Each structure stands twice: as C-alpha cells, then as structure tokens.
Amino acid sequence: MKEAKLRDRVILITGASSGIGEATARHLAGEGATVVLAARRRERLQHLAEEIAASGGRALAIPTDITVDADRRHLVEHTLHTHGRIDALINNAGYGQRGPIECVPIEAIRQNFETNLFSLIALTQLVIPILRTQGRGRIVNVSSVAGRIARPFSAVYDATKHALEAISDGLRGELAPFGIHVIVIEPGFIRTEFLHVAQDVSRSVLERAEPYAPFIADLDRWYERWQRWAGRPEAVAAVIRRALTDEPPRPRYAVPGHAHLLLALKRWFPESLFDRLLRQQMGLARHLSSS
C-alpha cells in the first residue's frame, strides 16, 4: 500500500552523493519513486543514478552546489523540465563545523549556516510555489538530535539545526492550508562520512584551539566510543519513507533508538542535571571537577 503511494512520485533529494541522502535515494527508488539526486560530486551521483537504473528504478543526477543560486535554480528547472512536477523535497545536504566558539572564524560560522540553513531555505522557496500549484506535497527537513540539544564544541552546527527546527515549525503552519506537509527528521549518530567531513572542515580550527586541546582530545575519544552505537543510514531512509507516506505524517521523527532516549532525557530532566549528564558522558566533567 505504502509502496503504491510512492510510485511515480518525483522526489528531489539534496546531499544524495553519500550517507543518508544516498541510502534514501536507493530506498525510495526501490519503492517506485522517481528520484532526483543533487550534490556537488558529479561522479558519485552519476554512479548512483546508473545503479538505480540498472535495478529497474528511475533516477536523474543533477550536480548541484546548493549554496550557489544558479545551481539551485537549474536543479528545480531541470527537474520540472524533465518530469513536469515535484512531489517532495528532501532537504538533506549539510555538514558540521566543529570547534570552540571562541576559535571558529566568523566566516566559517557563516558558511555552515549558508549550507545548512540559508541555501536550504532558498531552495525551499523555489519549490513551494510548485507544490502549492499542485495542491499537495511534502518537504522533509533533515535536522538532527543536535537541533534540540546543543553540545560543547559543536554549537555552530547545532545552531544551524536549531534554526532549521524553528523554520520548519513556522513553515509547517504556513503551508498546511495548501495541503503541503513539512516534516523534520532528527537522526542521532549515524555511520556516514559526516564525522570525517566535519573533522576535515574543522581541522585548522581544532589545531589552533590551544586552551581547549585537552577537552577536545577527550571529546574525540568519546565520539570514537559512540561510533559503536551509531545507526545505519538505511534506518534513516526507512523513517524518511514513513514521513513521505504516513497519513497524516508526524511533525517529527527521531531515529534510531538512542535519539529517542536523548530527546526524552532533554525533555524531562532539569536543565542543570541534563548539562551535567551530557558533560559527564562527553568526558568533559573531569575537567570541571579538577578546576
């Protein structure tokens, strides 16, 4: 039944060249959707489109840097020109800037907001009129548990996702009268290229964050330990499929189990207790007690 709902739906996915976006494209194409793949790495997209076509699916690869206005316009126009419609937009492209706020250059902060938030809004603005004219559609915004819980040394990225949560909540109310659903996905730790990219992007900041070096070293060990609990991108893809087919969809979906747990703790614990727990878990508490 649910598969029938996705058959021939045209679904635009940003960040489709790896991780969650790639798994989602595969999953949705496997259920009959026509997927439009957007990201910067052309060969990766092409390869995925060919793989999907070889297994009987339909995929269109459109190399796109979502921070570039002309690319965003081309993405939407090319999709419309080829398929004549867009049924859903999955705003998934994003990366994480790490580092103590004191040390992250303001330009790097702007860049993280540019990719994770402003470009996402700009692309959404291009797609809304199309969905409105069609009288229905879904916009799925891939946020994070970090959209509700801000962590030391990741607060720039976390702020982009907190802002995305607010934009999504506002948009949900604005678009409901037009039959357009806006849904937020809140993944916990997922095994993708995300950490590797975050580390790459943040290397120069982390190397120059001298006074914070011991905390960052402990934090890195914590992230390594957490990898054991990391979920699979396919699990997020399955939840995105639900967001596209549930009638009506929920405003938010968290995935996997540890994401539900973290959000519940954040919701029900007193703030100071939650802070303490988080610092303890992240290996930062011992620095506090020794100071």
Q: Which residues are catalytic?
A: 157
| Nearest distance, CB of residue 94 and ligand NDP, angstroms | 3
Nearest to 38 by CA among 7, 3, 76, 9: 76
* Neighbour tally for 117: CB within 10 Å: 20
66 near ligand NDP, rule: CB under 6 A: yes
Of the candidate residues 46, 67, 111, 199, the single one contacting ligand NDP (CB under 6 A): 67
Q: Give 132 or 193: the residue with its C-beta nearer to ligand NDP.
A: 193
Question: Which of 10, 33, 39, 89 forms a contact with ligand NDP (CB under 6 A)?
Answer: 39
In the complex, least distance from residue 253 CB atom to ligand NDP, rounded to whole angstroms: 12
In the structure encoding, which two tokens stand for residue 131, read together?
């969905």
Answer yes or no whether residue 206 interacts with ligand NDP by CB under 6 A: no
Is residue 34 classed as helix, strand or coil in its secondary structure? strand
**CB closer to ligand NDP, 44 vs 83:** 44
The one among 11, 19, 33, 182 contacting ligand NDP by CB under 6 A: 19
- The site string for ligand NDP over 168-187 (x = CB under 6 A, - otherwise) reads -------------------x
Nearest CA-CA partner of 87 in 78, 79, 95: 79
- Piece of the chain touching ligand NDP by CB under 6 A; list 38-46, 175-183, 244-252, 276-284: 38-46
Three-class secondary structure of residue 151 per DSSP: coil
Q: Does 256 bind ligand NDP (CB under 6 A)?
A: no
37, 48, 64, 87: residue in contact with ligand NDP (rule CB under 6 A):
64
Residue 179: count other Cβ atoms within 10 Å of its Cβ: 13
58: DSSP letter: E
- Sites for ligand NDP among residues 133-152 (CB under 6 A): 142, 144
Quick check: 190 binds ligand NDP (CB under 6 A)? yes
**Contacting ligand NDP (CB under 6 A), which of 60, 103, 159, 189?**
189
CA distances from 153 to 77, 99, 160 (A): 39, 5, 14
Classified as helix, coil or strand, 207 is helix
Tokens 């699916």 locate to: 57
Please report how close the Cβ of residue 37 comes to ligand NDP at its closest, in angstroms: 9
Task: Give the amino acid at 8.
Answer: D
Does position 25 bind ligand NDP by CB under 6 A?
A: no
Burial of 228 (0-12, 13-18, 19+ CB in 10 A): exposed
Q: How far is the CB of 44 from ligand NDP (least distance, A)?
A: 6
Min separation Cβ 162 and ligand NDP, Å: 12
User: Which residues have C-beta within 8 Å of that of residue 100, sequence separation ≥ 6?
Assistant: 152, 153, 209, 212, 216
Count Cβ neighbours within 10 Å for each residue of 35-62 and write b for 16 or more, e otherwise.
Answer: bbbbbbeeebbeebbeebeeeebbbbbb
Q: Is 200 exposed, middle or buried (0-12, 13-18, 19+ CB in 10 A)?
A: exposed
CB of 247 to ligand NDP, least distance (A): 25
Binding site for ligand NDP (CB under 6 A): 14-21, 39-41, 64-67, 92-95, 115, 142, 144, 187, 189-190, 192-194, 197
